[in-house]
Protein backbone atom coordinates (compact mmCIF):
# COMPACT_ATOMS: atom_id res chain seq x y z
CA UNK A 1 0.00 0.00 0.00
CA UNK A 2 1.44 3.37 -0.92
CA UNK A 3 1.31 5.94 1.80
CA UNK A 4 -0.16 9.08 0.43
CA UNK A 5 0.97 12.25 2.05
CA UNK A 6 -2.35 13.60 3.27
CA UNK A 7 -1.52 17.20 2.41
CA UNK A 8 -1.24 16.33 -1.29
CA UNK A 9 -4.55 14.58 -1.55
CA UNK A 10 -6.43 17.25 0.32
CA UNK A 11 -7.92 20.13 -1.61
CA UNK A 12 -7.64 23.49 0.06
CA UNK A 13 -10.46 24.30 2.46
CA UNK A 14 -13.29 26.40 1.09
CA UNK A 15 -12.47 25.22 -2.42
CA UNK A 16 -15.75 25.33 -4.27
CA UNK A 17 -14.96 22.20 -6.26
CA UNK A 18 -14.39 19.96 -3.28
CA UNK A 19 -16.46 16.90 -3.92
CA UNK A 20 -15.78 14.81 -0.86
CA UNK A 21 -16.91 16.28 2.44
CA UNK A 22 -14.34 16.85 5.16
CA UNK A 23 -15.69 13.97 7.19
CA UNK A 24 -18.35 11.51 6.27
CA UNK A 25 -19.54 8.78 8.59
CA UNK A 26 -21.50 6.09 6.75
CA UNK A 27 -23.57 3.41 8.38
CA UNK A 28 -21.19 3.10 11.33
CA UNK A 29 -21.75 0.28 13.78
CA UNK A 30 -19.82 -0.23 16.99
CA UNK A 31 -20.30 -3.20 19.30
CA UNK A 32 -18.80 -4.08 22.63
CA UNK A 33 -18.40 -7.66 23.72
CA UNK A 34 -19.23 -7.84 27.40
CA UNK A 35 -19.85 -10.67 29.80
CA UNK A 36 -23.59 -10.03 29.65
CA UNK A 37 -23.69 -10.05 25.88
CA UNK A 38 -23.06 -7.84 22.89
CA UNK A 39 -23.78 -4.16 23.49
CA UNK A 40 -24.61 -2.37 20.27
CA UNK A 41 -23.49 1.13 21.22
CA UNK A 42 -23.69 2.60 17.73
CA UNK A 43 -26.22 1.29 15.22
CA UNK A 44 -25.82 2.75 11.76
CA UNK A 45 -24.85 6.36 12.23
CA UNK A 46 -24.52 8.65 9.22
CA UNK A 47 -23.32 12.21 9.23
CA UNK A 48 -21.10 14.62 7.37
CA UNK A 49 -19.12 17.65 8.44
CA UNK A 50 -17.74 20.28 6.10
CA UNK A 51 -14.86 22.67 6.69
CA UNK A 52 -15.86 25.58 8.87
CA UNK A 53 -19.06 23.87 9.91
CA UNK A 54 -20.18 22.94 13.40
CA UNK A 55 -22.12 19.75 13.85
CA UNK A 56 -23.59 19.25 17.30
CA UNK A 57 -24.23 15.68 18.33
CA UNK A 58 -26.83 15.78 21.05
CA UNK A 59 -27.77 12.90 23.26
CA UNK A 60 -28.00 11.57 26.78
CA UNK A 61 -25.41 9.36 28.40
CA UNK A 62 -25.36 5.97 26.71
CA UNK A 63 -26.71 7.26 23.41
CA UNK A 64 -23.47 6.42 21.62
CA UNK A 65 -22.34 9.94 20.91
CA UNK A 66 -18.92 9.60 22.51
CA UNK A 67 -18.33 6.13 21.08
CA UNK A 68 -18.93 7.50 17.59
CA UNK A 69 -16.36 10.20 18.24
CA UNK A 70 -13.85 7.72 19.56
CA UNK A 71 -14.36 5.56 16.49
CA UNK A 72 -13.62 8.57 14.30
CA UNK A 73 -10.48 9.35 16.27
CA UNK A 74 -9.50 5.69 16.22
CA UNK A 75 -9.01 5.57 19.97
CA UNK A 76 -11.55 2.88 20.76
CA UNK A 77 -10.19 -0.02 22.74
CA UNK A 78 -10.46 -2.91 20.34
CA UNK A 79 -11.27 -5.40 21.80
CA UNK A 80 -13.73 -5.18 23.57
CA UNK A 81 -15.03 -2.81 20.89
CA UNK A 82 -15.62 -3.97 17.33
CA UNK A 83 -16.62 -2.09 14.22
CA UNK A 84 -18.53 -4.75 12.26
CA UNK A 85 -19.51 -2.41 9.45
CA UNK A 86 -19.41 1.15 8.30
CA UNK A 87 -17.07 3.70 6.80
CA UNK A 88 -15.46 6.81 8.17
CA UNK A 89 -14.30 8.88 5.23
CA UNK A 90 -11.93 11.74 5.83
CA UNK A 91 -11.65 13.81 2.66
CA UNK A 92 -12.96 10.85 0.75
CA UNK A 93 -10.57 8.25 2.16
CA UNK A 94 -11.92 5.52 4.39
CA UNK A 95 -9.99 5.70 7.63
CA UNK A 96 -11.15 2.28 8.80
CA UNK A 97 -9.30 0.71 5.86
CA UNK A 98 -6.07 2.55 6.63
CA UNK A 99 -3.07 1.04 8.34
CA UNK A 100 -2.41 2.00 11.94
CA UNK A 101 0.63 3.98 10.75
CA UNK A 102 -1.49 6.12 8.43
CA UNK A 103 -4.12 6.75 11.04
CA UNK A 104 -1.45 7.86 13.44
CA UNK A 105 -0.40 10.50 10.94
CA UNK A 106 -3.93 11.84 10.71
CA UNK A 107 -4.62 11.73 14.41
CA UNK A 108 -3.53 14.96 16.03
CA UNK A 109 -2.35 16.49 12.77
CA UNK A 110 -5.60 16.47 10.79
CA UNK A 111 -8.18 15.40 13.35
CA UNK A 112 -7.85 16.40 16.96
CA UNK A 113 -9.97 15.88 20.01
CA UNK A 114 -10.80 17.93 23.08
CA UNK A 115 -11.79 15.83 26.06
CA UNK A 116 -14.29 16.60 28.76
CA UNK A 117 -12.23 16.24 31.87
CA UNK A 118 -9.09 18.26 31.41
CA UNK A 119 -7.59 17.29 34.74
CA UNK A 120 -7.57 13.58 34.04
CA UNK A 121 -6.60 14.04 30.40
CA UNK A 122 -3.38 15.83 31.28
CA UNK A 123 -0.38 14.07 32.75
CA UNK A 124 0.09 15.40 36.29
CA UNK A 125 3.84 14.76 36.43
CA UNK A 126 4.81 16.52 33.20
CA UNK A 127 4.83 20.28 32.74
CA UNK A 128 2.19 21.74 30.48
CA UNK A 129 4.83 23.14 28.17
CA UNK A 130 6.30 19.69 27.73
CA UNK A 131 2.89 18.16 27.04
CA UNK A 132 2.01 20.85 24.52
CA UNK A 133 5.40 20.57 22.88
CA UNK A 134 5.01 16.84 22.47
CA UNK A 135 2.78 17.49 19.47
CA UNK A 136 5.60 19.26 17.67
CA UNK A 137 8.30 16.85 18.75
CA UNK A 138 6.39 13.77 17.68
CA UNK A 139 4.69 14.99 14.51
CA UNK A 140 7.18 17.54 13.22
CA UNK A 141 10.43 16.35 14.76
CA UNK A 142 11.03 19.65 16.51
CA UNK A 143 13.75 19.95 19.12
CA UNK A 144 12.86 20.44 22.76
CA UNK A 145 13.71 24.10 22.61
CA UNK A 146 11.66 24.76 19.48
CA UNK A 147 8.79 22.78 20.92
CA UNK A 148 8.76 24.84 24.09
CA UNK A 149 8.81 28.08 22.13
CA UNK A 150 5.83 26.88 20.12
CA UNK A 151 4.07 25.83 23.30
CA UNK A 152 4.36 29.39 24.60
CA UNK A 153 2.96 30.67 21.32
CA UNK A 154 0.02 28.29 21.61
CA UNK A 155 -0.70 29.28 25.17
CA UNK A 156 -0.78 32.88 24.02
CA UNK A 157 -3.12 31.86 21.24
CA UNK A 158 -5.66 30.50 23.73
CA UNK A 159 -5.27 33.63 25.87
CA UNK A 160 -3.48 32.28 28.87
CA UNK A 161 -2.00 35.30 30.63
CA UNK A 162 1.77 35.32 31.21
CA UNK A 163 2.25 32.30 28.99
CA UNK A 164 6.03 32.46 28.97
CA UNK A 165 6.13 32.41 32.75
CA UNK A 166 3.62 29.60 33.10
CA UNK A 167 4.90 27.24 30.44
CA UNK A 168 6.77 25.17 33.03
CA UNK A 169 3.80 24.92 35.39
CA UNK A 170 2.04 21.65 36.09
CA UNK A 171 -1.66 20.89 35.52
CA UNK A 172 -2.62 21.22 39.19
CA UNK A 173 -1.44 24.83 39.19
CA UNK A 174 -4.08 25.76 36.64
CA UNK A 175 -7.79 26.35 37.21
CA UNK A 176 -10.45 24.28 35.42
CA UNK A 177 -11.04 26.86 32.72
CA UNK A 178 -7.32 27.32 32.14
CA UNK A 179 -6.81 23.57 31.87
CA UNK A 180 -9.56 23.38 29.29
CA UNK A 181 -7.75 26.12 27.36
CA UNK A 182 -4.63 23.96 27.43
CA UNK A 183 -6.68 21.08 26.01
CA UNK A 184 -7.89 23.38 23.24
CA UNK A 185 -4.34 24.57 22.60
CA UNK A 186 -3.18 20.98 22.34
CA UNK A 187 -5.91 20.15 19.86
CA UNK A 188 -5.08 23.22 17.80
CA UNK A 189 -1.35 22.72 17.86
CA UNK A 190 -0.99 21.29 14.38
CA UNK A 191 -3.89 23.27 12.92
CA UNK A 192 -6.11 20.27 12.20
CA UNK A 193 -8.96 20.29 9.71
CA UNK A 194 -11.40 18.75 12.12
CA UNK A 195 -11.81 19.04 15.85
CA UNK A 196 -13.97 16.76 17.92
CA UNK A 197 -14.96 18.34 21.20
CA UNK A 198 -16.46 15.83 23.61
CA UNK A 199 -18.44 17.79 26.21
CA UNK A 200 -15.75 20.48 26.33
CA UNK A 201 -17.49 22.67 28.90
CA UNK A 202 -19.54 20.28 31.01
CA UNK A 203 -17.16 20.45 33.96
CA UNK A 204 -16.90 24.25 33.89
CA UNK A 205 -18.82 27.10 35.49
CA UNK A 206 -21.18 29.10 33.28
CA UNK A 207 -18.96 32.17 33.16
CA UNK A 208 -15.93 30.10 32.23
CA UNK A 209 -18.01 28.00 29.85
CA UNK A 210 -18.91 31.16 27.97
CA UNK A 211 -15.22 32.12 27.73
CA UNK A 212 -14.19 28.70 26.47
CA UNK A 213 -16.97 28.37 23.90
CA UNK A 214 -16.20 31.86 22.64
CA UNK A 215 -12.55 31.00 22.23
CA UNK A 216 -13.38 27.78 20.43
CA UNK A 217 -15.75 29.53 18.02
CA UNK A 218 -13.21 32.25 17.31
CA UNK A 219 -10.42 29.81 16.56
CA UNK A 220 -12.71 27.71 14.42
CA UNK A 221 -13.57 30.73 12.29
CA UNK A 222 -9.95 31.67 11.99
CA UNK A 223 -8.71 28.26 10.88
CA UNK A 224 -11.89 27.26 9.00
CA UNK A 225 -12.01 23.99 10.89
CA UNK A 226 -14.83 21.51 10.99
CA UNK A 227 -16.10 21.01 14.53
CA UNK A 228 -18.04 18.12 15.97
CA UNK A 229 -19.44 19.26 19.28
CA UNK A 230 -20.68 16.45 21.46
CA UNK A 231 -22.91 17.63 24.26
CA UNK A 232 -26.13 17.17 26.13
CA UNK A 233 -26.61 20.88 26.77
CA UNK A 234 -29.26 22.29 24.46
CA UNK A 235 -28.27 25.81 25.44
CA UNK A 236 -24.67 25.45 24.27
CA UNK A 237 -25.85 23.83 21.06
CA UNK A 238 -28.18 26.72 20.27
CA UNK A 239 -25.31 29.14 20.71
CA UNK A 240 -22.74 27.60 18.40
CA UNK A 241 -24.04 24.80 16.16
CA UNK A 242 -24.87 24.99 12.46
CA UNK A 243 -26.58 21.65 12.32
CA UNK A 244 -27.60 19.08 14.85
CA UNK A 245 -27.81 15.31 15.00
CA UNK A 246 -29.85 13.95 17.90
CA UNK A 247 -28.84 10.49 19.04
CA UNK A 248 -30.83 7.97 21.02
CA UNK A 249 -29.79 4.41 21.85
CA UNK A 250 -27.04 4.33 19.25
CA UNK A 251 -29.03 5.78 16.38
CA UNK A 252 -29.52 9.20 14.96
CA UNK A 253 -33.20 9.98 15.47
CA UNK A 254 -33.24 13.44 13.97
CA UNK A 255 -31.02 15.74 11.98
CA UNK A 256 -31.77 19.36 11.26
CA UNK A 257 -30.22 22.79 10.83
CA UNK A 258 -30.07 24.48 14.22
CA UNK A 259 -32.85 27.04 13.71
CA UNK A 260 -35.25 24.47 12.32
CA UNK A 261 -34.71 22.00 15.13
CA UNK A 262 -35.61 24.43 17.89
CA UNK A 263 -38.56 25.82 15.99
CA UNK A 264 -40.13 22.60 14.79
CA UNK A 265 -38.73 19.35 16.10
CA UNK A 266 -39.73 16.34 13.99
CA UNK A 267 -39.12 13.63 16.56
CA UNK A 268 -40.99 13.21 19.85
CA UNK A 269 -37.71 12.67 21.70
CA UNK A 270 -36.31 15.99 20.50
CA UNK A 271 -39.55 17.70 21.37
CA UNK A 272 -39.45 16.16 24.84
CA UNK A 273 -35.86 17.29 25.37
CA UNK A 274 -36.69 20.82 24.32
CA UNK A 275 -39.72 20.94 26.59
CA UNK A 276 -37.88 19.58 29.58
CA UNK A 277 -35.27 22.32 29.87
CA UNK A 278 -36.07 24.99 32.43
CA UNK A 279 -35.80 28.45 30.90
CA UNK A 280 -34.32 31.57 32.44
CA UNK A 281 -37.09 33.77 31.12
CA UNK A 282 -40.03 31.57 32.02
CA UNK A 283 -41.21 30.12 35.25
CA UNK A 284 -43.75 27.45 34.54
CA UNK A 285 -45.42 25.43 37.24
CA UNK A 286 -44.48 21.94 36.17
CA UNK A 287 -41.53 21.03 34.07
CA UNK A 288 -42.31 18.66 31.24
CA UNK A 289 -40.48 15.40 31.85
CA UNK A 290 -39.93 12.53 29.45
CA UNK A 291 -41.12 9.57 31.46
CA UNK A 292 -39.00 6.51 32.00
CA UNK A 293 -35.29 6.01 31.55
CA UNK A 294 -32.91 5.72 28.62
CA UNK A 295 -32.85 2.06 27.50
CA UNK A 296 -30.29 -0.48 28.56
CA UNK A 297 -28.24 -1.12 25.43
CA UNK A 298 -28.16 -4.83 26.19
CA UNK A 299 -31.88 -5.03 25.59
CA UNK A 300 -32.98 -2.21 23.37
CA UNK A 301 -36.77 -2.27 22.99
CA UNK A 302 -38.25 -3.84 19.86
CA UNK A 303 -39.21 -1.48 17.10
CA UNK A 304 -38.46 2.17 17.81
CA UNK A 305 -36.06 2.33 20.77
CA UNK A 306 -37.94 5.32 22.14
CA UNK A 307 -41.39 3.69 22.11
CA UNK A 308 -41.67 2.86 25.85
CA UNK A 309 -41.11 6.54 26.71
CA UNK A 310 -43.09 8.04 23.82
CA UNK A 311 -46.54 9.49 24.36
CA UNK A 312 -47.50 9.00 20.74
CA UNK A 313 -46.39 5.38 20.44
CA UNK A 314 -48.69 3.16 18.37
CA UNK A 315 -48.55 -0.53 17.59
CA UNK A 316 -46.27 -0.02 14.61
CA UNK A 317 -43.69 1.66 16.87
CA UNK A 318 -43.42 -1.51 18.95
CA UNK A 319 -42.75 -3.75 15.96
CA UNK A 320 -41.01 -1.77 13.22
CA UNK A 321 -37.87 0.24 13.69
CA UNK A 322 -38.39 3.51 11.83
CA UNK A 323 -35.70 4.44 9.26
CA UNK A 324 -34.24 7.94 9.13
CA UNK A 325 -36.35 9.54 6.41
CA UNK A 326 -36.18 13.03 4.90
CA UNK A 327 -38.64 15.50 6.39
CA UNK A 328 -40.65 17.66 4.04
CA UNK A 329 -43.07 20.55 4.30
CA UNK A 330 -46.77 19.80 4.36
CA UNK A 331 -46.95 20.35 0.59
CA UNK A 332 -43.99 18.08 -0.09
CA UNK A 333 -41.29 20.74 -0.44
CA UNK A 334 -37.99 19.40 0.70
CA UNK A 335 -36.42 20.73 3.84
CA UNK A 336 -32.67 20.48 3.23
CA UNK A 337 -30.71 18.70 5.91
CA UNK A 338 -33.75 17.53 7.82
CA UNK A 339 -34.54 13.92 8.60
CA UNK A 340 -36.38 12.09 11.33
CA UNK A 341 -36.56 8.49 12.44
CA UNK A 342 -40.16 8.46 13.56
CA UNK A 343 -43.15 6.75 11.97
CA UNK A 344 -45.20 9.81 12.80
CA UNK A 345 -42.82 12.62 11.92
CA UNK A 346 -45.54 14.33 9.90
CA UNK A 347 -47.79 14.57 12.92
CA UNK A 348 -44.91 15.66 15.13
CA UNK A 349 -43.69 18.48 12.94
CA UNK A 350 -46.94 19.67 11.41
CA UNK A 351 -49.12 19.17 14.48
Partner 1 sequence: MAEPTKAAEPTDATPNVSEVDAIDVHSEEEAVAALDAPVERGEPILQVRNLVKHFPLTTGIVFKRQIGAVKAVDGISFDLYQGETLGIVGESGCGKSTVAKLLMSLEQATAGEVFYKGQDITRLSGKALKAVRRNIQMIFQDPYTSLNPRMTVGDIIGEPFEIHPEVAPKGDRRRKVQELLDVVGLNPEYINRYPHQFSGGQRQRIGIARGLALNPEIIICDEPVSALDVSVQAQVINLMEGLQDEFNLSYIFIAHDLSIVRHISDRVGVMYLGKMAEIGTDEQIYEHPTHPYTQALLSAVPVPDPEAREHRERIILTGDVPSPANPPSGCSFRTRCWKAQDKCAQETPLLAIPERFKSSDPPAAHESACHFAEDKDIVHAA
Closer to partner 1 by Cβ: residue 196 or 212: 212
**Which residues in 143-182 are b (16+ Cβ under 10 Å) and which e?**
eeeebbbbbbebbebbebeebeebbebbbeebebbbbbbb
| Site membership for partner 1, residue 175 (CB under 8 A) | yes
| Site membership for partner 1, residue 236 (CB under 8 A) | yes
The rounded distance, in Å, linking the Cα atoms of 242 and 331 is 25
Peptide bond into 210 cis (omega under 30): no
Select from 176, 301, 308, 337 the one that contacts partner 1 (CB under 8 A). 176
Q: How far apart are the first and last CA of the chain?
A: 55
Select from 61, 77, 100, 311 the one that contacts partner 1 (CB under 8 A). 61
The H-or-E segment that residue 25 falls in is strand 23-34
Residues 154-173 that bind partner 1 (CB under 8 A): 161
Closer to partner 1 by Cβ: residue 37 or 235: 235
Closer to partner 1 by Cβ: residue 12 or 289: 289
Residues 265-284 that bind partner 1 (CB under 8 A): 272-274, 276-281, 283-284
C-beta of 29: minimal distance to partner 1 in Å? 24
| Site membership for partner 1, residue 119 (CB under 8 A) | no
Cα–Cα distance list, 77 to 82, 95, 116, 124, 195 (Å)? 9, 16, 18, 23, 20
Select from 35, 291, 299, 330 the one that contacts partner 1 (CB under 8 A). 291
The rounded distance, in Å, linking the Cα atoms of 231 and 245 is 11
Question: Total binding residues for partner 1 by CB under 8 A?
Answer: 48
Q: What are phi and psi of 212, to 5 degrees?
A: -70, -45
| Site membership for partner 1, residue 210 (CB under 8 A) | yes
Select from 72, 112, 155, 178 the one that contacts partner 1 (CB under 8 A). 178
| Site membership for partner 1, residue 259 (CB under 8 A) | yes
The rounded distance, in Å, linking the Cα atoms of 162 and 283 is 43
C-beta of 258: minimal distance to partner 1 in Å? 5
Closer to partner 1 by Cβ: residue 276 or 302: 276
Q: Candidates 65-73, 98-106, 118-126, 227-235: pick the segment binding partner 1 (CB under 8 A).
A: 227-235
Select from 8, 17, 100, 286 the one that contacts partner 1 (CB under 8 A). 286
C-beta of 146: minimal distance to partner 1 in Å? 30
Residue 21 and residue 195 in contact, taking contact as beta carbons nearer than 8 Å? no
Peptide bond into 145 cis (omega under 30): no
| β partners of residue 129 | none
The H-or-E segment that residue 238 falls in is helix 234-240
C-beta of 277: minimal distance to partner 1 in Å? 5
Cα–Cα distance list, 69 to 22, 23, 114, 163, 213 (Å)? 15, 12, 11, 31, 19
Select from 87, 117, 146, 233 the one that contacts partner 1 (CB under 8 A). 233
Q: What is the DSSP letter of 99?
A: -
Q: Candidates 30-38, 137-145, 239-247, 340-348: pick the segment binding partner 1 (CB under 8 A).
A: 239-247
Binding site for partner 1 (CB under 8 A): 60-61, 161, 175-178, 205-211, 213-214, 232-241, 258-259, 262, 272-274, 276-281, 283-284, 286-291, 293-294
Amino acid sequence: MTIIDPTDAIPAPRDGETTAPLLEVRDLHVEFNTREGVVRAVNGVNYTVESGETLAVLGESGSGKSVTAQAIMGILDMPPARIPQGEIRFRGRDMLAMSEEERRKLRGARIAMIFQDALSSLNPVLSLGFQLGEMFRVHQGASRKEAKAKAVELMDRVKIPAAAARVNDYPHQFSGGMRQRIMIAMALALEPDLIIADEPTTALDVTVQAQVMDLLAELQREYQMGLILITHDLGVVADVADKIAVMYAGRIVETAPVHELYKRPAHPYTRGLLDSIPRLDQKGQDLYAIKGLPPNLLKVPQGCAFNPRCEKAQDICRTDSPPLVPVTERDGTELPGRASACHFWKETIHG
